[in-house]
């Protein structure tokens, strides 16, 4: 089996629940050696349930340390001395108190990369920064849902998952630089960054974002959810070629340009809604996809998993979703999540002759 692209990269994780563990699991799927440093009682996500914990921690080692003790700090130093990076997601005060910053750890390894994944930044205090709270604070909830209804949250932890992926990117970027140092990723900043064109429209053109019915896009028309004769259809017409193909199939005349469709939004949406009511969502999907028109019937998660069996893997007896990153010639080894303290408190095996933070 071909080694993963991150084979030889050694990452320490002091994380809990979702954002940090998700970041390091993505790295482990790519071949990194990830050691999860857990407190005596373990990552609190173990209390949620075995399935939940396994979904975020496959392929890792577990070392049980009390970082509030001198012995725990000494063992942490041993681990840091031969690691490339440490990723921590905790409150800023805890990160500082437990000595999990670059300034505190550089004495063990000048080239260690320390990633702090927090709600608002290492210097921002300990205000609660749970996923839903950050979505509310950054405008995401206000942008989601029907304009006549309340603000709405996505059905999954979008802030935590997005921040985890961003933290993994920052960690790898600093390793590639060949320098140690502190990297910060804040959930607030990640979500604001992901509001890119919405924020730019407001900052530059004074366009305050508004919620539109059925999740409609602010620029493109028609690009939203539509009711059909059976189920809902997501239709995303982003340019005139898509519209030409769709309109011909749906029997709609006129509105040839993006500008005209945007100007006559309500008229266009009425015509599209009327046309789509003549067939089911699944049927429209089958009709439009061969034409290259972006469209999909709205599916439940069970339906989506059934339709994409290649994305389901087994790790330690738990069925899970596979890594989304596919590297030619490499198949991830989906190993089980670790038992608490399964790998004791031993440091990484000596890597004789290998410079710390060398990119394999």
- In the block, which residue shows the tokens 């994780």? 13
SS (H, E, C) the chain: CCCCCCCCCEEEEECCCCHHHHHHHHHHHCCCEEEEEECCCCCHHHHCCHHHHHHHHCCCEEEECCCCCHHHHHHHHHHHHCCCEEEECCCHHHHHHCCCCHHHHCCCCCCCEEEEEECCCCCCCCCCCCHHHHHHHCCCHHHCCCCCCCCCCCCCCHHHHHHHHHHHHHHHHHHHHCCCEEEEEEHHHHHHHHCHHHHHHHHHHCCCCCCCHHHCCCCCCCEEEEECCECEEEEECCCHHHHHHHHHHHCCCCCCCHHHHHHCHHHHHHHHHHHHCCCEHHHHHHHHHHHCCCEEECCCHHHHHHHCHHHEEEECCEEEECCCCCCCCCCCCCCCCCCCCCCCCCCCCCCCCCCCCCCC
- The model scores a pTM over 0.85: yes
Q: Give the model's pLDDT for residue 1.
A: 65
Q: Give the model's pLDDT for residue 345.
A: 58
Residue 3 pLDDT greater than 80, yes or no:
yes
pLDDT of 330-347, one tens digit each?
999 999 999 998 898 544
Rounded average pLDDT over 267-276: 98
Question: What is the rounded CA–CA span in Å between residue 349 and residue 338?
Answer: 18
Residue 350 pLDDT greater than 50, yes or no:
no
Q: Give the model's pLDDT for residue 356.
A: 42
Q: Give the model's pLDDT for residue 348.
A: 45
Question: Where do the structural domains in the chain lie, given as residue ranges?
Answer: 10-194+308-321, 232-297
Report residue 358's pLDDT band, with 50, 70 and 90 as the boundaries. Answer: very low
Give the chain's mean pLDDT: 93
Report residue 351's pLDDT band, with 50, 70 and 90 as the boundaries. Answer: very low
Q: Give the model's pLDDT for residue 353.
A: 36
Report residue 352's pLDDT band, with 50, 70 and 90 as the boundaries. Answer: very low
pLDDT of 101-125, one tens digit each?
999 999 999 999 999 999 999 998 8
Q: Give the model's pLDDT for residue 217.
A: 93
pLDDT of 178-219, one tens digit each?
999 999 999 999 999 999 999 999 999 999 999 999 999 988
pLDDT of 14-60, one tens digit each?
988 999 999 999 999 999 999 999 999 999 999 999 999 999 999 99
Q: Give the model's pLDDT for residue 360.
A: 41
Q: Which of 249, 268, 248 is nearest to 258 (CA)?
A: 268
Q: Give the model's pLDDT for residue 344.
A: 85
Q: Give the model's pLDDT for residue 128.
A: 83
Rounded average pLDDT over 249-257: 97
Question: What is the rounded CA–CA span in Å between residue 132 and residue 147?
Answer: 19
Topology at the third CATH level for domain 10-194+308-321: Rossmann fold (3.40.50)
Residue 167 pLDDT greater than 50, yes or no:
yes
């Amino acid at each position: 089996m071909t080694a993963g692209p991150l084979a030889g990269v050694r990452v320490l994780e002091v994380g809990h629940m979702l954002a940090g563990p998700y970041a390091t699991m993505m790295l482990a799927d790519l071949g990194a050696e990830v050691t999860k440093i857990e407190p005596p009682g373990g990552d609190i996500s173990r209390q949620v349930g075995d399935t939940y914990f396994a979904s975020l921690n496959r392929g890792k080692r577990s070392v049980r340390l009390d970082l509030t003790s001198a012995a725990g700090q000494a063992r942490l130093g041993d681990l840091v001395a031969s690691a490339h990076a440490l990723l921590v997601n905790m409150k800023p005060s805890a990160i500082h108190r437990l000595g999990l910053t670059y300034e505190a750890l550089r004495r063990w390894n000048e080239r260690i990369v320390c990633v702090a994944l927090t709600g608002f930044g290492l210097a921002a205090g300990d205000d609660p920064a749970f996923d839903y709270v950050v979505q509310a604070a950054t405008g995401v909830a206000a942008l989601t849902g029907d304009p006549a209804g309340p603000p709405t949250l996505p059905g999954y932890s979008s802030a935590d998952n997005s921040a985890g992926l961003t933290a993994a990117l920052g960690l790898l970027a600093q390793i590639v630089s060949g320098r140690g140092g502190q990297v910060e990723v804040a959930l607030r900043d990640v979500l604001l960054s992901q509001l890119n064109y919405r924020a730019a429209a407001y900052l530059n053109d004074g366009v305050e974002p508004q919620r539109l019915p059925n999740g409609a896009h602010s620029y493109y028309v028609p690009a939203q959810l539509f009711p059909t004769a059976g189920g809902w259809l997501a239709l995303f017409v982003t340019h005139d070629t898509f519209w030409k193909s769709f309109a011909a199939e749906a029997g709609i005349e006129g509105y040839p340009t993006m500008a005209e469709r945007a100007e006559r939004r309500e008229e266009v949406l009425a015509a599209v809604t009327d046309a789509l009511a003549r067939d089911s969502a699944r049927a429209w999907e089958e009709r439009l996809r061969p034409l290259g028109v972006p469209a999909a019937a709205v599916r439940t998660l069970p339906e989506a998993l059934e339709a994409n069996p290649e994305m389901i893997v087994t790790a330690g007896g738990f069925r899970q979703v596979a890594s989304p990153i596919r590297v030619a010639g490499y198949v991830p080894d989906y190993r089980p999540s670790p038992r608490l303290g399964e790998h004791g408190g031993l440091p990484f095996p000596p890597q004789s002759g290998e410079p710390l933070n060398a990119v394999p």
